C-alpha cells in the first residue's frame, strides 16, 4: 500500500509541471497554471509522505519484479532506509513548491515560470525514483533525471552570464560523477553477476576497493564533499531560491544516500575506509565553514555551509563504518543515527535558511551581505525564522542541530574505549567538530547580524518589506520542525532506529533511545526555553508595571559619537576578517589594496575576494591546459568531406594491417 | 546537596569579582572597593531604568537573557569541587560547551543589533577567539573521558586524576594550564581583554555591551560573574580535588578554592599587561596545543 502511494506520488509529481504547459504564459491564466501545478505537486507529495512514513515502520523490505526492462530482477522496492530519505524529498519539495507561488509568481516571470515548474516536478520525481530503485538501471534513470532537471533549474535565469557559467560547471561536475557511477555499476556487475542492488555477502578485495572509491567519487560530487564541492556555491546562488532550498536541502542528500546505500550493500569494510570517510568529513567540515565565513554573497555563504554539514554527516558515517569494522554495535547505532538525523536536520534548517535568503533577495534585490542590514524591522517574521534556522545550523541547544551533533559526539566518545594502535586518535574528531561548531556560530552571527540587525547599509536594504503569506508559511513549518526535533528527539527515534537497522542489513543494534539521553535533552531543552521565557517575562513585567519613563529609547550611544550612519557599522567582511586570516593558508584571500596618497586623498576602492580554491586553482588551469592541447588536434578538422573520407580510408587500412596477422594465426577449430 | 549547589551558584559569583578587584587593589597599593561592591552595583543596576537604542530589536534584549539562562544551566551541570552536580547525563559536557555557544550567539548578535562599529568589533573578536578555546575544551573532555571511561562532566572531573600516577598527573597539569588560559579568555580578563576599560579599541567583552544599560547591564554583569564561577569550578574539580564525605565541608572547601582561584586571576591581572590584539590568537593556540599535548600524553 505505502509503495503504491509513493509510485503515484512519483508519477504525479513528474506530471505536475506538464499541466502548466496547457496554460497561457502571461497574466492570470499563467497564475492559474502555476497554482494548478503546485497543487498537483503538493497533493502528490502528501501522498508520498504518507507512503514513506508508513514505509519507515513496515519491518520487511519489499521489492517489485517487473517483466521489463530488468527481466527477472527486482526493479524497484521499498525499505526503511529508502523511506527515510523519501520523507525528506516529499516534505521539503512540497514546502518549496508552495513558497514558489509567492517567490516567483507566474505573471511576473512569464518567460521562466512554466519551465521551472516543469523541471521542478521532474526533479522531485527523479529523486524519489532513485530512492526506490533496486536495480542499477532504474537508479541511473532516476539519477540522470534528477541531475538534468537540476541543470535546467539552475540556468532558469539564463540571461546572466554568471548563471550560465554556474550551470556549465555543474553539468561538467555532475557528468563526471555519473561517469564514475557507470564504472562503479560495471564493477558491481562483474563482482556480483547482476545489476541488482542487493547485499553482497562477500567480494573480491580489488573489486571492493574499486567500487568504494568510485562511489565515493561519483556520489561525493553530488554530495559536495571537499574537494569535489566546486560546482556547489555557484549553482546554489544562481538558481531561484526555492530551487536552491531543494538542491541544498535535498539533492545533496541523494549523494549521501548513494554512499550510504552502497556501503550497506557491501560486506563489512576494514577500519581504513572508516578513517578515510571520517577524514574527508572533517576536512569538508572545517574548510566548508571557513570558506563560508569568507563569502560576501548570502546564498554562496549558505551553499558553503552545506559543504560543512555534509562534512558532519560524513563524519557520522565514517564513525559508523569504524564501529562496524571494530564490531561495536553501539558506536554503529549512535554514529549512524547522528549521520541520518543530520541528513534530516540539515534539510530542514538549510531549506529554511535558503527560503529566508530568498525572501531577502526578493524584497531588496541584492544578495550582497554588506549592502543589507536592519531588515528585522521591515521583515520581522522572515528574520525570526532565519534566526531559528541559524541557531539550529550552529548545532546549538535547544534546536535540532544539537541533537544530531550530540549523537556524533557520543559516537566519537564511544571510540575512546577501543583498544588498538591509533584507535584513540579517532577522538581527535571531537575537537574538530567543536571547532566547526564555533566557526559556524561566527559565520551565522555574521550573516544574521549583517543582514537583519543594525541599520540598513544601502537604499536597497531600506526597501525591505515582509514576504507574503505563501512564503512565510513554509518557513514557519520548517522552523517548527526544527524546534520540534530539538525539544522532543524522542519523536524521531523510531524512524532513526528503523533506518539504521535497515542500513545495517537487519543485524540487531541497540535502539538510539537506550544509547543517547533523549529524555534529558528534552528536559534540558524545555527548561532552557521556560527559563528564558520566565526571565523575559520578569523583565517585561517590570517595565510594563511602572511605565513612568523607566524605559526610554534614543540613538545608539556609540561612545558618544553624534551622527552615526548605516555605512559606519561594522561590516560582515570586517567581522570575518580575523578568522579569514587564520585560514588564509587555505582560503588565499586576494586583496585589491589602494594606497592613500597626498594630504587629502581622493576616494579609493578596496576589495577582497576569496575564490573557490579547487575551481580556480585546480579545475580551471586543468581545463585551460586541456583546451590548449585540443588546439593541436584541431588541425585535423578542416571541414572538407574528402578529407574525412581519407581519414576513414586510413583508419580502415590501419585496422586491417593490425588485425591481419592475428586473424591469420588464429586456428579454426 | 542540590540546595547548597544552587545557593552557591546564585549567591557566590559577584564575590569572586570582588576578590579579584581587591587583589588588584592590593597590588596597586590601593584600598580598593569593598568586597561586596559588585553586589551593590548589580542591585543598583537592577533598580534603574533602561535606555534602548532605536536601531535595536528583540535580539538586543535576548542577548543578556539567554546568556543568564545558559550560564546558570551550565552551572547546574558542572560539579562544585567534590560535591556532585544536580543535573548529570551521558554527554552533558557537550551540552555544557554548547550552552556557552548559545550565549555567545545571542551576545554577539545583540552587539551587532546596535549598529555601532565598536560593538561589532567586540563581537567579531569574541566570535573569533572562541574558535580556538572551544577545541581546547574538547581536548580536555576527550582526555578525561578516555581516562575515566565516563561521558558525564560530574564523573569525569570529580575523579581526582591529579593524584594518580605520574604520566596522567603530568598531562592533567598541562591541561590545567591550558584551561586556565581558556578561563581568562572566556571571562575577558587580562592578558586577553581588559574588563576595566570602556573606550579602547583593544577590548572585547566591554565593547559588546556598550549600549546595554540598567537591568540589562545588571544581568550581564551577574552572568559574567557566574560564568567565572562555572569555569573556575571546572578547573577546581580537576586541579584541586580535595573532598571529604560531608557535603557542608565540601561546599566550604569549594568556596575557599574558588576564592583562591579568583585571587590568582587577580594576581595574573596585576602582574601582566594586556597582549596586543594580534598576539591573542598565539596565546590561545598555545592553550589549544597544551590541552592537545595533554590528550596525546594520555593516549600515547
Instruction: State the pLDDT at residue B202.
Output: 63
A618 CB neighbour count, 10 Å cutoff: 13
pLDDT grade for A591, boundaries at 50, 70 and 90: confident
Phi, psi of A531 (to 5 degrees): -65, -40
Spatial separation of the C-alpha atoms in residues A257 and A265, rounded to whole Å: 12
- Please state whether beta strands A74-78 and A551-554 pair in parallel, antiparallel, or not at all (unpaired): unpaired
| Partner A contacted by B41 (CB < 8 A) | no
Evaluated on CA atoms B41, B109, B227, B201, the torsion sign reads negative
Determine contact, residues A403/A256, Cβ cutoff 8 Å. Answer: no
Cell matching residue A485: 526535533
Average pLDDT over residues A225-230: 92
A516 CB neighbour count, 10 Å cutoff: 26
Residue in chain B closest to A378 (alpha carbons) equals B57
Collapsing DSSP states into helix, strand and coil, what is residue A88? helix
Mutate to test the interface with B, among A395, A427, A516 (most CBs of B within 10 A): A427
- Is the pLDDT at A415 greater than 80? The verdict is yes
Q: Which residues share a beta bridge with A552?
A: B51
Q: Which residues of A touch B220 (CB under 8 A)?
A: none
Cis amide prior to A52 (ω within 30 degrees): no
Cell matching residue A347: 534539510
| Partner A contacted by B52 (CB < 8 A) | yes
Cell matching residue A509: 543494534
| Partner A contacted by B68 (CB < 8 A) | yes
B89 CB neighbour count, 10 Å cutoff: 19
Out of A39-43, A307-311, A599-603, which region has the weakest mean confidence (pLDDT)?
A599-603
Collapsing DSSP states into helix, strand and coil, what is residue A577? helix
The string of pLDDT tens digits covering residues B200-210 is 566 788 889 88
Cis amide prior to B288 (ω within 30 degrees): no
Q: Which residues of B touch A413 (CB under 8 A)?
A: 91, 142, 145, 151
Average pLDDT over residues A505-518: 86
Q: Which residues of B touch A402 (CB under 8 A)?
A: 95, 98
Collapsing DSSP states into helix, strand and coil, what is residue B52? strand
Sequence-ordered list of residues with C-beta below 8 angstroms from that of A61, at least 6 positions apart, any chain: A77, A78, A79, A80, A502
Instruction: State the pLDDT at residue A555.
Output: 84
How many helices and strands, by DSSP H and E, does chain A display?
27, 5
Determine contact, residues A310/A335, Cβ cutoff 8 Å. Answer: no
CA-wise closest residue to A252 among A212, A174, A172, A306 = A306
CA-wise closest residue to A294 among A614, A648, A590 = A590
Q: Which residues of A touch B120 (CB under 8 A)?
A: 449, 569-571, 574-575
Determine contact, residues B109/B63, Cβ cutoff 8 Å. Answer: yes
Instruction: State the pLDDT at residue B200.
Output: 59
CA-wise closest residue to B277 among B219, B204, B215 = B204
Average pLDDT over residues A55-71: 76
Angstrom distances, CA of residue B135 to CA of A43, A177, A427, B77, B281 = 47, 35, 12, 19, 13
Spatial separation of the C-alpha atoms in residues A505 and A265, rounded to whole Å: 8
Instruction: State the pLDDT at residue A339.
Output: 96
Q: Which residues of B touch A577 (CB under 8 A)?
A: 124
The string of pLDDT tens digits covering residues A290-310 is 999 999 999 999 999 999 999
Q: Which helix (H) or strand (E) holds A554?
A: strand A551-554
Determine contact, residues A509/A379, Cβ cutoff 8 Å. Answer: no
Cis amide prior to A266 (ω within 30 degrees): no
The string of pLDDT tens digits covering residues A627-642 is 999 998 888 888 889 9
- Smallest Cβ–Cβ distance between B57 and the set A376, A435, A568 belongs to A376
Spatial separation of the C-alpha atoms in residues A81 and A316, rounded to whole Å: 16
Mutate to test the interface with A, among B78, B101, B106 (most CBs of A within 10 A): B101
Q: Which residues of B touch A521 (CB under 8 A)?
A: 95
The string of pLDDT tens digits covering residues A171-186 is 999 999 999 999 999 9
- Smallest Cβ–Cβ distance between A434 and the set B62, B105, B135 belongs to B135
Residues in chain B: 300
Partner-chain contact A449 B127, CB within 8 Å: no
Collapsing DSSP states into helix, strand and coil, what is residue A232? helix
Cell matching residue B91: 554527554
Determine contact, residues B59/B113, Cβ cutoff 8 Å. Answer: yes
Residue in chain B closest to A530 (alpha carbons) equals B69
The string of pLDDT tens digits covering residues A425-481 is 899 999 999 999 999 999 999 999 999 999 999 998 998 889 999 999 999 999 999
A522 CB neighbour count, 10 Å cutoff: 18
Instruction: State the pLDDT at residue A49.
Output: 95
Q: Which residues share a beta bridge with A143?
A: none
The string of pLDDT tens digits covering residues B20-74 is 999 999 999 999 999 999 999 999 999 888 888 888 999 999 999 999 999 999 9
Instruction: State the pLDDT at residue A60.
Output: 66
Q: What's the 3-state SS for A621-655?
A: HHHHHHHHHHHHHHHHCCCCHHHHHHHHHHHHHHH
Spatial separation of the C-alpha atoms in residues A477 and A270, rounded to whole Å: 42
The nearest CA of chain A is from the CA of B206 a distance in Å of: 12
Spatial separation of the C-alpha atoms in residues B197 and B74, rounded to whole Å: 28
Instruction: State the pLDDT at residue A64.
Output: 78
Instruction: State the pLDDT at residue A505.
Output: 82
pTM above 0.90, yes or no: yes
Burial status of residue A662 (CB atoms within 10 A of its CB: 0-12, 13-18, 19 or more): exposed
Average pLDDT over residues A526-548: 85
Partner-chain contact B94 A427, CB within 8 Å: no
| Partner A contacted by B283 (CB < 8 A) | no
pLDDT grade for A418, boundaries at 50, 70 and 90: confident
Partner-chain contact A438 B134, CB within 8 Å: yes
Q: Which residues of A touch B109 (CB under 8 A)?
A: 387, 445, 448-449, 453
| Partner A contacted by B104 (CB < 8 A) | yes
Q: Which helix (H) or strand (E) holds A170?
A: helix A161-192
Mutate to test the interface with B, among A453, A580, A583 (most CBs of B within 10 A): A453
Burial status of residue B251 (CB atoms within 10 A of its CB: 0-12, 13-18, 19 or more): buried
Determine contact, residues A557/B54, Cβ cutoff 8 Å. Answer: no
Average pLDDT over residues B259-282: 92
Angstrom distances, CA of residue A157 to CA of A173, A354, B260 = 20, 17, 66
Angstrom distances, CA of residue A195 to CA of A69, A218, A225 = 12, 17, 27
Residue in chain A closest to B50 (alpha carbons) equals A551
Q: Mean pLDDT of all residues in chain B? A: 90
| Partner A contacted by B43 (CB < 8 A) | no
Partner-chain contact B89 A520, CB within 8 Å: yes
Q: Which residues share a beta bridge with A133?
A: A76
Percent over 90 (pLDDT), chain B: 61
Spatial separation of the C-alpha atoms in residues A104 and A109, rounded to whole Å: 7
Spatial separation of the C-alpha atoms in residues A231 and A177, rounded to whole Å: 12
Average pLDDT over residues A142-152: 96
Phi, psi of A239 (to 5 degrees): -75, 160
Spatial separation of the C-alpha atoms in residues B65 and A106, rounded to whole Å: 44
Instruction: State the pLDDT at residue B201.
Output: 62
Residue in chain A closest to B76 (alpha carbons) equals A524
Instruction: State the pLDDT at residue A662.
Output: 56
Mutate to test the interface with B, among A386, A441, A512 (most CBs of B within 10 A): A441
Structural domain boundaries of chain B?
2-299
Block residue for cell numbers 555563504: A301
| Partner A contacted by B73 (CB < 8 A) | yes
The nearest CA of chain B is from the CA of A304 a distance in Å of: 18
Determine contact, residues B233/B81, Cβ cutoff 8 Å. Answer: yes
Average pLDDT over residues A333-351: 96
- Smallest Cβ–Cβ distance between A568 and the set B65, B102, B117 belongs to B117
Determine contact, residues A409/A517, Cβ cutoff 8 Å. Answer: no
Determine contact, residues B144/B157, Cβ cutoff 8 Å. Answer: yes
CA-wise closest residue to A390 among B113, B119, B71, B102 = B102
Determine contact, residues B143/B300, Cβ cutoff 8 Å. Answer: no
A611 vs A474 pLDDT, higher one: A474
Partner-chain contact B55 A455, CB within 8 Å: yes
pLDDT grade for A600, boundaries at 50, 70 and 90: confident
Determine contact, residues A321/A413, Cβ cutoff 8 Å. Answer: no
Spatial separation of the C-alpha atoms in residues A441 and A391, rounded to whole Å: 8
Average pLDDT over residues A579-596: 84
The nearest CA of chain A is from the CA of B260 a distance in Å of: 30
Average pLDDT over residues A120-147: 95
Out of A42-56, A520-534, B236-250, which region has the weakest mean confidence (pLDDT)?
B236-250
Partner-chain contact B98 A396, CB within 8 Å: yes
Percent over 90 (pLDDT), chain A: 68
Q: Which residues of A touch B281 (CB under 8 A)?
A: 578, 582
Q: Which residues of B touch A575 (CB under 8 A)?
A: 112, 120, 123-124, 127
Instruction: State the pLDDT at residue A593.
Output: 72
Q: Which residues of A touch B65 (CB under 8 A)?
A: 532, 535-536, 539
| Partner A contacted by B105 (CB < 8 A) | yes
pLDDT grade for A98, boundaries at 50, 70 and 90: very high
B28 CB neighbour count, 10 Å cutoff: 9
The nearest CA of chain A is from the CA of B279 a distance in Å of: 12
The string of pLDDT tens digits covering residues B203-262 is 788 889 888 999 999 999 999 999 999 999 999 988 887 777 788 888 899 999 999 999
Out of A30-39, A503-512, B153-162, which region has the weakest mean confidence (pLDDT)?
B153-162
Give the rounded distance of the alpha carbon of B63 from its chain centre.
17
pLDDT grade for B199, boundaries at 50, 70 and 90: low
pLDDT grade for A602, boundaries at 50, 70 and 90: confident
Block residue for cell numbers 595533554: B294
- Is the pLDDT at B197 greater than 80? The verdict is no
Q: Mean pLDDT of all residues in chain A? A: 90
Burial status of residue B223 (CB atoms within 10 A of its CB: 0-12, 13-18, 19 or more): buried
Contacting B residues, span 134-173, partner chain A, CB-CB under 8 Å:
134-139, 141-142, 145-146, 149, 151
Q: Which helix (H) or strand (E) holds A76?
A: strand A74-78
Residues in chain A: 669
Instruction: State the pLDDT at residue A546.
Output: 58
Spatial separation of the C-alpha atoms in residues A97 and A250, rounded to whole Å: 13
Instruction: State the pLDDT at residue A372.
Output: 92
Phi, psi of A76 (to 5 degrees): -135, 165
The string of pLDDT tens digits covering residues B131-190 is 999 999 999 999 999 888 888 888 888 777 777 777 888 889 999 999 999 999 999 898
Angstrom distances, CA of residue A358 to CA of A112, A155, A350, A467, A515 = 17, 17, 12, 10, 39
Spatial separation of the C-alpha atoms in residues A655 and A653, rounded to whole Å: 5
Cell matching residue B182: 581558556
Average pLDDT over residues A322-343: 94
Spatial separation of the C-alpha atoms in residues A445 and A572, rounded to whole Å: 9
Q: Which residues of B touch A448 (CB under 8 A)?
A: 109, 112
| Partner A contacted by B30 (CB < 8 A) | no
Q: Which helix (H) or strand (E) holds A96?
A: helix A80-103
Mutate to test the interface with A, among B9, B77, B95, B122 (most CBs of A within 10 A): B95
Q: Which residues of B touch A373 (CB under 8 A)?
A: 115
- Is the pLDDT at A500 greater than 90? The verdict is yes
- Is the pLDDT at A564 greater than 80? The verdict is no
Instruction: State the pLDDT at residue A545.
Output: 64
Amino acid at each position: 500500500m505505502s509503495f503504491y502511494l509513493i509510485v503515484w506520488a512519483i508519477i504525479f509529481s513528474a506530471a505536475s509541471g506538464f499541466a502548466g504547459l496547457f496554460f497561457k504564459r502571461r497574466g492570470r491564466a499563467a497564475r492559474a497554471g502555476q497554482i494548478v501545478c503546485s497543487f498537483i505537486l503538493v497533493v502528490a507529495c502528501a501522498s508520498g509522505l504518507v507512503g514513506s512514513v508508513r514505509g519507515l515502520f513496515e519491518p520487511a523490505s519489499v521489492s517489485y519484479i517487473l517483466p521489463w526492462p530488468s527481466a527477472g530482477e527486482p526493479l524497484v522496492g521499498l525499505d526503511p532506509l529508502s523511506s527515510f530519505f523519501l520523507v525528506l524529498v516529499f516534505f521539503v519539495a512540497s514546502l518549496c513548491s508552495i513558497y514558489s507561488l509567492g517567490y516567483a509568481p507566474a505573471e511576473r516571470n512569464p518567460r521562466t515560470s512554466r519551465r521551472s515548474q516543469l523541471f521542478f516536478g521532474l526533479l522531485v520525481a527523479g529523486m524519489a525514483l532513485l530512492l526506490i530503485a533496486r536495480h542499477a538501471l532504474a537508479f541511473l534513470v532516476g539519477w540522470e533525471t534528477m541531475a538534468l532537471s537540476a541543470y535546467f533549474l539552475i540556468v532558469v535565469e539564463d540571461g546572466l552570464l554568471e548563471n550560465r557559467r554556474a550551470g556549465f560547471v555543474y553539468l561538467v561536475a555532475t557528468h563526471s560523477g555519473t561517469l564514475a557511477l557507470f564504472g562503479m555499476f560495471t564493477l558491481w556487475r562483474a563482482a556480483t553477476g547482476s545489476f541488482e542492488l542487493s547485499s553482497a555477502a562477500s567480494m573480491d578485495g580489488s573489486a571492493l576497493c574499486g567500487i568504494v572509491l568510485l562511489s565515493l567519487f561519483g556520489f561525493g560530487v553530488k554530495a559536495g564533499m571537499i574537494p569535489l564541492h566546486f560546482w556547489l556555491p555557484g549553482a546554489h546562488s544562481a538558481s531561484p531560491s526555492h530551487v536552491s532550498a531543494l538542491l541544498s536541502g535535498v539533492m545533496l542528500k541523494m549523494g549521501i544516500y548513494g554512499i550510504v546505500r552502497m556501503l550497506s550493500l557491501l560486506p563489512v569494510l576494514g577500519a581504513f575506509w572508516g578513517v578515510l570517510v571520517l577524514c574527508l568529513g572533517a576536512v569538508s567540515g572545517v574548510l566548508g565553514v571557513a570558506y563560508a565565513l569568507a563569502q560576501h554573497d548570502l546564498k554562496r555563504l549558505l551553499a558553503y555551509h552545506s559543504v560543512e554539514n555534509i562534512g558532519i554527516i560524513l563524519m557520522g558515517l565514517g564513525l559508523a563504518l569504524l564501529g562496524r569494522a571494530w564490531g561495536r554495535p553501539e558506536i554503529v547505532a549512535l554514529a549512524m543515527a547522528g549521520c541520518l538525523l543530520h541528513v534530516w536536520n540539515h534539510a530542514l534548517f538549510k531549506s529554511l535558511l535558503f527560503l529566508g535568503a530568498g525572501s531577502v533577495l526578493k524584497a531588496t534585490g541584492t544578495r550582497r551581505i554588506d549592502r543589507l542590514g536592519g531588515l528585522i524591522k521591515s521583515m520581522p517574521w522572515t528574520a525570526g525564522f532565519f534566526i531559528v534556522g541559524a541557531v539550529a545550523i550552529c548545532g546549538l541547544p535547544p534546536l535540532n542541530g544539537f541533537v544530531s551533533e550530540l549523537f556524533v559526539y557520543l559516537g566519537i566518545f564511544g571510540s575512546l574505549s577501543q583498544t588498538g594502535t591509533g584507535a584513540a586518535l579517532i577522538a581527535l574528531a571531537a575537537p574538530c567538530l567543536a571547532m566547526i561548531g564555533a566557526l559556524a556560530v561566527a559565520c551565522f552571527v555574521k550573516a544574521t547580524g549583517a543582514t537583519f540587525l543594525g541599520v540598513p547599509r544601502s537604499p536597497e536594504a531600506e526597501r525591505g518589506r515582509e514576504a507574503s503569506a505563501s512564503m512565510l508559511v513554509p518557513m514557519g513549518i520548517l522552523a517548527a520542525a526544527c524546534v520540534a526535533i530539538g525539544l522532543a528527539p524522542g519523536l524521531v527515534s523510531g524512524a532513526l532506529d528503523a533506518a539504521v537497522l535497515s542500513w545495517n542489513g537487519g543485524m540487531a543494534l541497540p535502539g538510539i533511545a537506550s544509547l543517547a539521553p533523549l529524555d534529558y535533552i528534552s528536559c534540558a531543552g524545555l527548561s532552557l526555553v521556560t527559563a528564558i521565557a520566565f526571565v523575559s517575562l520578569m523583565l517585561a513585567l517590570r517595565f510594563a508595571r511602572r511605565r513612568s519613563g523607566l524605559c526610554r529609547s534614543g540613538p545608539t550611544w556609540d561612545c558618544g559619537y553624534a551622527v552615526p550612519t548605516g555605512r559606519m557599522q561594522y561590516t560582515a567582511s570586517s567581522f570575518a576578517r580575523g578568522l579569514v586570516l587564520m585560514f588564509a593558508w587555505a582560503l588565499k584571500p586576494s586583496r585589491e589594496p589602494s594606497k592613500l596618497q597626498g594630504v587629502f586623498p581622493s576616494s579609493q576602492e578596496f576589495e577582497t575576494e576569496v575564490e573557490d580554491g579547487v575551481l580556480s586553482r585546480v579545475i580551471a588551469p586543468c581545463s585551460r591546459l586541456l583546451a590548449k592541447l585540443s588546439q593541436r588536434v584541431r588541425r585535423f578538422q578542416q571541414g572538407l568531406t574528402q578529407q574525412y573520407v581519407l581519414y576513414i580510408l586510413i583508419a580502415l587500412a590501419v585496422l586491417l594491417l593490425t588485425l591481419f596477422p592475428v586473424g591469420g594465426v588464429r586456428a579454426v577449430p | 546537596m542540590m540546595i547548597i549547589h544552587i545557593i552557591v551558584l546564585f549567591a557566590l559569583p559577584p564575590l569572586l569579582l570582588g576578590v579579584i578587584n581587591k587583589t588588584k587593589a592590593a597590588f596597586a597599593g590601593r584600598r580598593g572597593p569593598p568586597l561586596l561592591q559588585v553586589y551593590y552595583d548589580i542591585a543598583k543596576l537592577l533598580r534603574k531604568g533602561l535606555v534602548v537604542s532605536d536601531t535595536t530589536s528583540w535580539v538586543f534584549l535576548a542577548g543578556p537573557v539567554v546568556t543568564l539562562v545558559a550560564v546558570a544551566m551550565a552551572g547546574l551541570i558542572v560539579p562544585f569541587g567534590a560535591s556532585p552536580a544536580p543535573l548529570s547525563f551521558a554527554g552533558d559536557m557537550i551540552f555544557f560547551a554548547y550552552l556557552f555557544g548559545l550565549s555567545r550567539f545571542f551576545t554577539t548578535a545583540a552587539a551587532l543589533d546596535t549598529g555601532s562599529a565598536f560593538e561589532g568589533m567586540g563581537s567579531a573578536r569574541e566570535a573569533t577567539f572562541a574558535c580556538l578555546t572551544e577545541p581546547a575544551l574538547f581536548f580536555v573532555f576527550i582526555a578525561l573521558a578516555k581516562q575515566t571511561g565516563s561521558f558525564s562532566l560530574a564523573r569525569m572531573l570529580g575523579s581526582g586524576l591529579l593524584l594518580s600516577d605520574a604520566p596522567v598527573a603530568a598531562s592533567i597539569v598541562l591541561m590545567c594550564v591550558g584551561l586556565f588560559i581558556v578561563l581568562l579568555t572566556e571571562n575577558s580578563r587580562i592578558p586577553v581583554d581588559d574588563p576595566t576599560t570602556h573606550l579602547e579599541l583593544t577590548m572585547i567583552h566591554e565593547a559588546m555591551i556598550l549600549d546595554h544599560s540598567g537591568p540589562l547591564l545588571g544581568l550581564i554583569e551577574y552572568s559574567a560573574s557566574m560564568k567565572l564561577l562555572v569555569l573556575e569550578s571546572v578547573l577546581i574539580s580537576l586541579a584541586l580535588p580535595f573532598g571529604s564525605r560531608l557535603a557542608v565541608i565540601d561546599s566550604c572547601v569549594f568556596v575557599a578554592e574558588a576564592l583562591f582561584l579568583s585571587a590568582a586571576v587577580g594576581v595574573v591581572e596585576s602582574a601582566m599587561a594586556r597582549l596586543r590584539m594580534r598576539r591573542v590568537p598565539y596565546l590561545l593556540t598555545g592553550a589549544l596545543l597544551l590541552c592537545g599535548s595533554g590528550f596525546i600524553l594520555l593516549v600515547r
